[in-house]
């Protein structure tokens, strides 16, 4: 598999007018293979297992919010990076999940070929399903290199997506609390 991948990279280099045999490019196919192996390692990880390993009983039924989780992903249309921040909130129903597992969950889905909308939904869905939350809210703010580098849009423009589930859809109060907590984080950076 690795050989097949590396041959494809060599072909690509030739097609764009490069010489894969020149010194600077000799190790490039192997490097690209290793980079893609890492950047798509989320396919080999099971979100259910990650969350189930850290579920705790709790009587807490207040909103839990983890904001400003950095992520890096690859767009499935151009294989170019998109990256930014994820804010994840949920309202527990007798069970809470270890806080470090939420950034892990984001990585599982970010380290796959993605579109931003789908990444947002997958994070929300798996928290609903595997943690049994009463409600979930996920917001992603990201910059897309396939947009910026190709000059389709101005540099530094961000794309925002959100996915709301359960009580975040039903209750306006919950929704308002969620969005005001995210926005307040923009003033307090420490």
In the complex with Zn ion, the residue whose CB is nearer, 75 or 106, is 75
Q: Is 187 annotated as a binding residue?
A: no
Q: Least distance in Å: CB of 116 to Zn ion?
A: 10
Structure token pair of residue 97: 């999940």
Per CB under 5 A, which of residues 71..100 are in contact with Zn ion? 75, 77-78
Cα-Cα-Cα-Cα torsion 163, 108, 95, 62, nearest 10 degrees, comes to -40
| Cβ count near 137 (within 10 Å) | 29
Residue 130 among the catalytic residues = no
> Which residue in 134, 111, 114 sits closest to 124, CA to CA?
134
Residue 6 among the catalytic residues = no
146 near Zn ion, judged by CB under 5 A: yes
39 near Zn ion, judged by CB under 5 A: no
User: How many angstroms separate the CA atoms of 145 and 147, rounded?
Assistant: 5
Residue 87 among the catalytic residues = no
Residue 116 among the catalytic residues = yes
Residues that bind Zn ion (CB under 5 A): 75, 77-78, 146
């Amino acid at each position: 598999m690795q050989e097949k991948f590396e041959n494809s990279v060599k072909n690509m280099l030739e097609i764009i007018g490069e010489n894969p045999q020149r010194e600077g490019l000799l190790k490039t196919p192997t490097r690209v293979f290793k980079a893609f192996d890492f950047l798509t390692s989320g396919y080999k990880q099971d979100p259910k297992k990650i969350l189930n390993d850290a579920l705790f009983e709790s009587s807490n039924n207040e909103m839990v919010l983890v904001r400003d989780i950095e992520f890096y992903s690859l767009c499935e249309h151009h294989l170019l990076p998109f990256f930014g921040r994820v804010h994840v909130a949920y309202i527990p129903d007798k069970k809470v999940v270890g806080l470090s597992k939420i950034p892990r969950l984001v990585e599982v889905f970010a380290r796959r070929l993605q579109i931003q909308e789908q990444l947002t939904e997958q994070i929300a869905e798996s928290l609903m399903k595997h943690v049994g939350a009463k409600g979930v809210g996920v917001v992603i703010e990201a910059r897309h290199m396939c947009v910026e580098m190709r000059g389709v849009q101005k540099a530094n423009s961000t794309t925002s997506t959100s996915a709301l589930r359960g009580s975040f859809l039903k209750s306006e109060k919950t929704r308002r609390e969620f969005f005001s907590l995210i926005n307040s984080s923009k003033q307090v950076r420490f």
